[in-house]
């Protein structure tokens, strides 16, 4: 009996709700049933009072108004948004701004309803200017193809190299540009320009700042025999004068010093690390170029940079890496290097007389090495405007 009573009560309430719903005429609906938009806002509850006149591609927004339940389509400029029925009510619509770039920019949002009625609202789709994050290699010879990584690479675009020289585009995707390097390019920032903005790189192309190991000319205690000054067929192409190439078998835990020395042996180049990098390593990167003709897949390369003595088991650049005969730029946050020294009980300190430098192969596992290295430098992560 109790179950029967509960069922009757539920059906009675449901019928009452349905009756109330159908008894409401169009005239009793707000604004006579005409759809309208009061405002657009962000969807975060803590920022619900943040009203919008525009939003970036892919942003989730809330359209607030009246009589919106019949919305069938929403367009931003000439791009149709994906509309989810469960996110559409009489009072609001949740929708993501389309990610595709419009061809026809009207700065209008257009809602199409079931009966063919259309509602327009001023709304700007804010299209991001390009971002430039890195290059596969920051050293690429004239006439060769450079690969630039980033985002929002919308055509038409241009890549301008230092000296104001525009490169020839080979291919463009949303996050990758391939561009042929023109002749006459100097070291410096590259610029990517689209119709939505212009961005300069934080890194330098053919970066010649703060190089503390380059072999141009050879200095130091160890292994001038590894310096390549005149590449022949089969050697990696030179990207910035001389480079170091280690092409031999290195046994596990063998002690193979490749390059470096104390300040008095390295010369003036040992002073090239900025004081600010020693004091604030988190603002800098250690960078160098590497080219492997055979995979670096065993052993360990231990790097000393910015030290006032040698430290054997501090920063370790570990395998594997295989560039397949191409030069690539390695980027290591300098705070990782400084942290490895601190763990070993050594704190970096500014020394106006220069710093100790060493590249040392010393680790477990035999390595059939054929690896070239160049342009060791410590440079800012972000260029101050």
Cα–Cα separations (whole angstroms), residue 263 to 111, 276, 341, 356: 70, 19, 19, 6
Given a contact cutoff of 8 angstroms between Cβ atoms, the answer to whether 250 and 367 are in contact is yes
pLDDT at 20: 33
Average pLDDT in the 2-6 region?
40
Pick the more confident residue, 276 or 383.
276
What's the token pair of residue 94?
């949740």
Average pLDDT in the 308-319 region?
97
Write out pLDDT tens, residues 346-376: 999 999 999 999 999 999 999 999 999 999 9
Given a contact cutoff of 8 angstroms between Cβ atoms, the answer to whether 229 and 187 are in contact is no
Cα–Cα separations (whole angstroms), residue 322 to 55, 200, 288, 293, 325: 42, 30, 15, 8, 8
Write out pLDDT tens, residues 183-202: 999 999 999 999 999 999 99
Q: How far is Cα 266 from Cα 235, in angstroms, rounded to an integer? A: 26
> pLDDT category, 282, cuts 50, 70, 90?
very high
Write out pLDDT tens, residues 84-119: 999 999 999 999 999 999 989 999 999 999 988 999
**What is the overall mean pLDDT for the chain?**
92
Write out pLDDT tens, residues 240-270: 999 999 999 999 999 999 999 999 999 999 9
DSSP 103: S
Q: 3-state class of 244 per DSSP?
A: strand
pLDDT at 235 over 90: yes
pLDDT at 272 over 70: yes
Q: How far is Cα 28 from Cα 122, in angstroms, rounded to an integer? A: 28
Q: How far is Cα 148 from Cα 128, in angstroms, rounded to an integer? A: 17
pLDDT at 85: 95
Q: How far is Cα 148 from Cα 156, in angstroms, rounded to an integer? A: 16
Nearest to 126 by CA among 175, 77, 70, 69: 77
Write out pLDDT tens, residues 19-63: 334 334 444 566 678 999 999 999 877 666 689 999 999 999 999
């Amino acid at each position: 009996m109790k179950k029967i009573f509960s069922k009757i009560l539920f059906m009675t309430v449901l019928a009452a709700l349905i009756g109330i719903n159908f008894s409401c005429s169009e005239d009793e609906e707000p604004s006579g049933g005409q759809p309208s938009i009061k405002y657009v806002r962000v969807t975060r509850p803590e920022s619900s009072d943040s009203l919008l006149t525009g939003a970036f591609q892919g942003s989730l927004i809330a359209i607030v108004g009246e009589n919106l339940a019949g919305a069938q389509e929403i367009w931003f400029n000439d791009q149709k948004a994906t509309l989810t029925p469960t996110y559409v009510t009489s009072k609001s619509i949740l929708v993501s701004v389309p990610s595709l770039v419009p061809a026809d920019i009207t700065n209008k949002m257009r809602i199409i309803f079931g009966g063919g009625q259309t509602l327009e609202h001023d709304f700007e789709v804010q299209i991001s200017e390009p971002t430039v994050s890195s290059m596969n290699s920051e050293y690429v010879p004239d006439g060769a193809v450079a690969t630039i990584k980033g985002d929002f690479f919308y055509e038409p675009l241009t890549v301008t190299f230092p000296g104001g020289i525009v490169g020839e585009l080979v291919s463009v995707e949303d996050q990758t540009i391939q561009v042929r390097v023109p002749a006459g390019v100097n070291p410096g920032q590259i610029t990517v320009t689209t119709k939505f903005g212009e961005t300069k790189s934080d890194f330098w192309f053919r970066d010649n700042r703060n190089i503390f190991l380059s072999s141009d000319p050879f200095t130091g205690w160890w292994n001038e025999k590894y310096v390549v000054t005149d590449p022949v067929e089969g050697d990696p192409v030179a990207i910035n004068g001389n480079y170091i190439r280690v092409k031999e078998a290195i046994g596990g835990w063998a002690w193979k010093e490749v390059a470096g020395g104390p300040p008095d042996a390295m010369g003036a180049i040992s002073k090239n690390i900025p004081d600010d990098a020693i004091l604030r390593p988190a603002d800098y990167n250690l960078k160098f170029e590497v080219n492997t003709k055979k995979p670096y897949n065993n052993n360990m390369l231990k790097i000393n940079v910015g030290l006032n003595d040698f430290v054997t088991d501090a920063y370790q650049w570990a395998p594997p890496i295989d560039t397949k005969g191409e030069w690539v730029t390695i980027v290591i946050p300098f705070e990782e290097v400084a942290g490895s020294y601190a763990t070993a009980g050594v704190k970096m300190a500014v020394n106006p007389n220069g710093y100790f430098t060493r590249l040392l192969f010393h680790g477990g596992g035999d390595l059939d090495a054929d690896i070239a290295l160049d342009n060791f430098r410590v440079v800012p992560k972000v260029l101050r405007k």
